[in-house]
Amino acid sequence: MPWVKTFDTNIAIDRATQVFWAKGYESTSLADLLKATQINKGSFYNAFGSKKSLFTQSLTKYDQENRRVAITQLSALNDPIVAISHFFDMVLDESVNDKDCKGCFLINTALDSPNHDADIQAIVKTGLMELQTFFEEQVSLGISTGVIPSDKNPNAIAKSLVAQLVGLRVLARGVFDVDSLTTIKSQALNLIK
């Protein structure tokens, strides 16, 4: 009798994401994933193939539903100062309200990048490069509309904004308090003044 899926794959991926996000790839066991997804071992392998495949799907889905959605919405504002400021406000708000100090799943994976295969590294690199492109486009737009000084280098500022953002996400995991995180945001915004 052929295997019939009796669960929602998206829900299973979302549940697995929470485990990977909290524990990291290496520390997450198959038993953790089976418990979280509420599916049996046979169904797990039929649906996802492997722990790594599920991790890849989890990371990709997380990135698409979070960073990409935010970038799309903020780009539509056509106001680069507001877009960049709102992005940092969003990250600051998420970080302050992250009671479990989980941080960002994509950035957490970036920190563990040397321990991942090339395909996982590519997802992380693409995500961070798209974030850099968003910042660079916003700075270029700001320069062309006169709201950002014309002597600014969009590429250099974009890289610095990504670095500030990564720092904020990492330090928000219990190292820095709200005032310190707010200072990082303020310093990031000073780059476009």
pLDDT at 6: 66
Q: Report pLDDT digits (tens) over 92-103.
A: 999 999 989 999
Q: How far is CA 174 from the centre of its chain?
A: 18
Model confidence at 136, pLDDT cuts 50, 70, 90, reads very high
pLDDT at 5: 58
Report how far residue 126's alpha carbon sits from residue 120's, in angstroms, rounded to the nearest whole number: 10
38 domain-assigned: yes
Residue 120 above 70 pLDDT?
yes
Report how far residue 36's alpha carbon sits from residue 9's, in angstroms, rounded to the nearest whole number: 13
Residue 83 above 70 pLDDT?
yes
Read off the pLDDT of each residue in 63-92 and give the average, rounded to a whole number: 95
2 domain-assigned: no
152 domain-assigned: yes
Give the type of residue at 164: Q
Q: Report pLDDT digits (tens) over 102-116.
A: 999 999 999 998 889
Read off the pLDDT of each residue in 120-143 and give the average, rounded to a whole number: 97
pLDDT at 7: 78
Report H helices in 24-117: 30-37, 41-48, 51-63, 69-75, 80-96, 105-111
Q: How does the average pLDDT of the chain come out, rounded?
A: 93
Residue 4 above 80 pLDDT?
no
135, 59 contact by CB (below 8 A): no
> Which structure tokens are listed for 26?
């290496």
Report how far residue 21's alpha carbon sits from residue 19's, in angstroms, rounded to the nearest whole number: 5
Q: Which long-range contacts (CB under 8 A, 24 or more apart) does 2-11 make?
A: 3/42, 3/43, 3/46, 5/43, 5/46, 5/47, 6/43, 7/37, 7/38, 7/39, 7/43, 7/47, 9/47, 10/61
pLDDT at 134: 97
pLDDT at 1: 43
1 domain-assigned: no
3 domain-assigned: no
Q: The domain that contains 19 carries what CATH number?
A: 1.10.357.10
Q: Is the pTM of this model over 0.95?
A: no
Report how far residue 40's alpha carbon sits from residue 167's, in angstroms, rounded to the nearest whole number: 39
pLDDT at 174: 87
On the 0-12 / 13-18 / 19+ scale of CB atoms within 10 A, 148 is buried
> Which structure tokens are listed for 24?
């990291």
Q: Into how many domains does the chain fold?
A: 1
Model confidence at 3, pLDDT cuts 50, 70, 90, reads very low
143 domain-assigned: yes
**Structural domain boundaries enclosing 20:** 9-190
4 domain-assigned: no
74 domain-assigned: yes
Q: Report pLDDT digits (tens) over 27-70.
A: 999 999 999 999 999 889 999 999 999 999 999 999 999 999 99
